[in-house]
Amino acid sequence: MGAQILDGKRIRDEILAELKPRIAVLAGARRSPGLAVVLVGHDPASEIYVRNKVKACEELGIYSEKLTPPEDTATADLLGILEGLNQRPEIDGILVQTPLPHSIDSRRVLNSVRPDKDVDGFHPYNVGNLVAGVPGPRACTPAGIMELLRRHEIPVAGRHAVVVGRSDTVGKPMAMMLLHQNATVTICHSRTRDLAAECRRADILVAAIGRPALIRGGFIKPGATVIDVGMNRLDTPAAVESVYGAGSPKLAALAAKGSVLVGDVHPLEVAERAGSYTPVPGGVGPLTIAMLMANTVEAAEGHLRLAVHGMAC
């Protein structure tokens, strides 16, 4: 019996379907949730991500605005834009698409978003709430992975989880969320000695290091659950053949599209070793936007509660 493929698209559709009645309640009580997306410059990958986020809002009935200041926007000017969004009551969530241009102080910008409108879960206040186990917006990709595990009934408590990658956006919050569900967690990174040996200890292996097909079959404990967060583009025949082998049908896809998407886990070898795994594409990616929508709805519900409480007082 082959490995189970963990279908992120199906879980995304479940999450979005569950949000629709909550959005209808908000619209009836006050107004639809509102999300502002700020995209600085013209990074092609970021433009695709933003387009998908705006499309998801339209399909759900969430009001969305896209702000596109130019590449040469100064940090102070961007901070002014965000302060304006912070003050607007019809905007429940603010998302600043990263990466930002190198000339912009990214930390100052992300920290300027009001914590109750920080639907990415990146503000230090919300990171602190995550560490303390206090409710609040959570980083979308790891939150989506936790939903994937829960809805596929993959046990977490008592399992050994290994997270490969220590980024503020995925690796660190992922480790904390797994810990809160009573996993024993190991975090690996570029300085980890004998990465393969550490990974082989994992019942749940999360790869989020940004290196194409780095995690080979020999890194995977037989029967483990493997979550591949990587989104890497192979754009030469040699790169495609190094992963998929000479004569692979993926070469035709490369010729047609100009690149082939591959995760951080070797796509052929994971299927031979894992008990279950997420494909790339179609695994973790769809869940990130679903959790952004969920965070936006939760922010709007929180703002409605505050408004009602304020009127009651």
- pLDDT tens sequence across 62-80: 999 999 999 999 999 999 9
Q: Give me the catalytic one of 53, 117, 221, 250.
A: 53
Q: Which CATH superfamily is domain 140-282 in?
A: NAD(P)-binding Rossmann-like Domain (3.40.50.720)
Q: How confident is the model at residue 45 (pLDDT cuts 50, 70, 90)?
A: confident
The answer to whether 142 and 170 have CB atoms below 8 angstroms apart is yes
Q: What gap in Å lies between CA 217 and CA 200, rounded to an integer? A: 10
Higher pLDDT, 80 or 44: 80
Helices and strands, number each (H, E), in the chain: 12, 11
Of the chain, the percentage scoring pLDDT greater than 90 comes to 94
53 catalytically annotated: yes
Q: How far apart are CA 52 and CA 63, in angstroms?
A: 14
Largest CA distance in the chain: 71
Q: Topology of 31-115 in CATH? A: Rossmann fold (3.40.50)
Q: What is the mean pLDDT of residues 162-178?
A: 97
Q: Cβ atoms within 10 A of the Cβ of 58, count?
A: 11
Query: CATH 3.40.50.720 in the chain, residues?
Result: 140-282
Is residue 97 annotated as a catalytic residue, yes or no? yes
According to DSSP, the β-strands at 34-38 and 63-67 are: parallel
The active-site residue, picked from 120, 203, 228, 264, is: 120
- Confidence at residue 51, expressed as pLDDT on a 0 to 100 scale: 93
Q: Could you give the residue range(s) of every CATH 3.40.50.10860 domain in the chain?
A: 31-115
Predicted local confidence at residue 1, as pLDDT:
59
Return the number of other C-beta atoms located less than 10 Å from residue 69's C-beta. Answer: 15
Known active-site residue 120: yes
Among 92, 97, 172, 203, the one annotated catalytic = 97
Average pLDDT, the chain: 95
| Site of tokens 């179609």 | 282
> What Rg value do the Cα atoms of the chain yield, rounded?
20
Beta strands 160-164 and 204-207 are parallel
